[in-house]
């Protein structure tokens, strides 16, 4: 009989079991969702060898010598993906306190805090994230690149990350880190090395600079945003010529483009320019959504961001409250229209606007606004894998795919909130979590009085 070998690796006092290569593990559960089908199968069995899935299906035979993990009355599912996170940041507390913390906290300390965000995210079942922007005022550190690389090397535990480095945006726009501060408080105006670019050539330079420094994906703000002090939420912030340059340069370098956009006009211009996804999209009209459907542009609705801000509206300055209310009022009809006409909806939450690790609450918001539970599950698995360009490797439970597998109690198509109670997490064949999470919430958040609510 084969000898089972385990290597116990201790991170933050928590043992992670990493199994030796070529060892067989069979996962069993009452149900299985493969990431792409319209129904769940009963008596799901998934066989993992090393970091890959070697067999998956209903009642398939378990090979001799395999270690069997019976997860009982639960549902096996591909590891969830979140196409819009900011693991290196935390905007969830009092807005003005956060601005002060940004000035006070050493960037290295913020990077260490980010490792706890990464762990909270993977333990809640999200084995892949597209991390859309990481910046520290007055610093040129690429903390998201460092976090991704440290996870890939096994130094820390976290989800697979595709990172955007600094979001690209216009002077005075949503991504200008000096937005709202006294002029020249930080010396020179931010430039392309901070992601701030003006004119098509400068935009190309910013894209090249970010790719040189490790960006997997390019993020830009083409309209105003909610959490910035001096812009309107829906005004255009890049010209059409700048958007064309942004998309052309990124696609030449084989990087996809995700744009932050609330306004309808900038969304139309961005879709026309060929961006891969519109993030938020709050004010998009039906005609704009129809354009997206025709072009195959993804919508990443980030319902959790608005939900969190509206639930804590007193934490924000009056000007931001007005912007948040306008975006929240518009997004319901936009999302319902997108579902109705069949726009490709990717699962993305804007984690950092709310405390990390609560990503799965997005599922219930999607279903409440008219999305079928099975489609919401697809959005966080096969649809995100398609948007991220990694569907050859992950996103479904099929032979030859990497073994990113989670389990949740009961049947998520009957009760979508099962997604919030993930009890088992495997990434690339390694068991990250089996049983209670190691961290109920991120304890070392810089906003202790705003720690994650218990619900």
Binding site for Zn ion (CB under 5 A): 350
Between 350 and 420, CB nearer to Zn ion? 350
Q: How far is the CB of 77 from Zn ion (least distance, A)?
A: 25
Between 350 and 384, CB nearer to Zn ion? 350
Tokens of 294: 């025709």
Positive or negative torsion for Cα 205, 207, 211, 215: positive
Tokens of 78: 């591909």
Q: Which of 294, 232, 301, 290 is nearest to 260 (CA)?
A: 301
Q: How many CA atoms lie within 13 A of 143 on its CB side?
A: 23
Judged by DSSP in three states, 349 sits in: coil
Q: How far is the CB of 403 from Zn ion (least distance, A)?
A: 29
Q: How far is the CB of 261 from Zn ion (least distance, A)?
A: 11
Q: How far is the CB of 350 from Zn ion (least distance, A)?
A: 4
Between 267 and 403, CB nearer to Zn ion? 267
Q: How far is the CB of 281 from Zn ion (least distance, A)?
A: 13
Q: Are strands 298-300 and 277-280 parallel, antiparallel or unpaired?
A: parallel
What's the angle, vertex CA 148, arms to CA 451 and CA 75, rounded to 5? 65
Distances (CA, A) of 449 to 33, 90, 97: 38, 13, 11
Q: How far is the CB of 86 from Zn ion (least distance, A)?
A: 6
Between 350 and 428, CB nearer to Zn ion? 350
CA distance 295 to 293: 6
Contacts of 357 (CB under 8 A, 6+ apart): 117, 120, 121, 123, 124, 437, 439, 441, 442, 452
CA distance 169 to 41: 46
Within a 10 A sphere around the Cβ of 103, how many other Cβ atoms? 11
- Give me the residue whose beta carbon is nearest to Zn ion: 350
Q: How far is the CB of 298 from Zn ion (least distance, A)?
A: 15
Q: How far is the CB of 114 from Zn ion (least distance, A)?
A: 15
CA distance 88 to 121: 12
Between 146 and 227, CB nearer to Zn ion? 227
DSSP code of residue 4: P
Residue corresponding to tokens 């955007």: 164
Q: How far is the CB of 142 from Zn ion (least distance, A)?
A: 17
DSSP code of residue 193: G
CA distance 107 to 142: 10
């Amino acid at each position: 009989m084969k000898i089972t070998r385990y290597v116990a690796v201790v991170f933050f006092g928590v043992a992670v079991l990493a199994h030796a290569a070529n060892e067989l593990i069979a996962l069993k559960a009452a149900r299985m969702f493969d990431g792409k089908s319209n129904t769940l199968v009963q008596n799901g069995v998934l066989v993992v060898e090393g970091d890959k899935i070697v067999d998956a299906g209903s009642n398939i035979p378990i090979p001799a010598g395999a270690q069997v993990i019976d997860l009982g009355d639960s549902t096996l599912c591909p590891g969830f993906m979140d196409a819009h996170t900011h693991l290196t940041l935390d905007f969830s507390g009092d807005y003005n306190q956060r601005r002060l913390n940004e000035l006070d906290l050493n960037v290295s300390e913020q990077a260490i805090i980010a490792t706890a965000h990464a762990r909270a995210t993977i333990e809640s079942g999200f084995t892949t994230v597209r991390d859309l922007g990481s910046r520290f005022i007055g610093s040129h550190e690429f903390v998201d690149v460092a976090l991704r690389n440290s996870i890939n090397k096994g130094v820390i535990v976290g989800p697979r990350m595709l990172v955007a480095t600094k979001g690209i945006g216009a002077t005075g726009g949503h991504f200008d880190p000096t937005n709202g501060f006294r002029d020249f408080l930080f010396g020179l105006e931010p430039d392309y090395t901070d992601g701030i670019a003006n004119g098509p050539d400068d935009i190309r330079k910013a894209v090249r600079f970010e790719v040189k420094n490790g960006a997997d994906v390019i993020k830009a703000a083409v309209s105003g945003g909610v959490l910035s002090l001096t812009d309107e939420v829906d005004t255009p912030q890049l010209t059409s010529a700048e958007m064309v340059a942004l998309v052309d340069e990124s696609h030449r370098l084989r990087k996809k483009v995700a744009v932050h956009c609330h306004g309808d006009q900038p969304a139309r211009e961005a879709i026309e320019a060929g961006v891969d996804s519109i993030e938020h999209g709050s004010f998009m009209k039906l005609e704009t959504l129809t354009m997206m459907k025709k072009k195959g542009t993804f919508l990443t609705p980030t319902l959790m961001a608005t939900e969190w801000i509206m639930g804590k509206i007193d934490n924000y300055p009056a000007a931001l409250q007005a912007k948040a209310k306008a975006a929240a009022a518009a997004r319901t009809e936009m999302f319902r229209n997108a579902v109705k006409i069949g726009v490709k909806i990717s699962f993305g939450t804007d984690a950092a606007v709310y405390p990390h690790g609560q990503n799965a609450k997005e599922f219930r918001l999607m279903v409440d606004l008219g999305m079928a539970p099975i489609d919401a599950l697809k959005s966080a698995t096969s649809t995100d894998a398609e948007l991220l360009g990694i569907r050859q490797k992950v996103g479904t439970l099929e032979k030859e795919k990497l073994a990113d597998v989670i389990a949740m109690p009961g049947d998520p198509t009957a009760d979508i909130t099962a997604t919030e109670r993930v009890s088992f997490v495997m990434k690339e064949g390694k068991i990250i979590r089996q049983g209670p999470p190691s961290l109920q919430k991120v304890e070392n958040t810089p906003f202790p009085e705003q720690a994650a609510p218990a619900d």
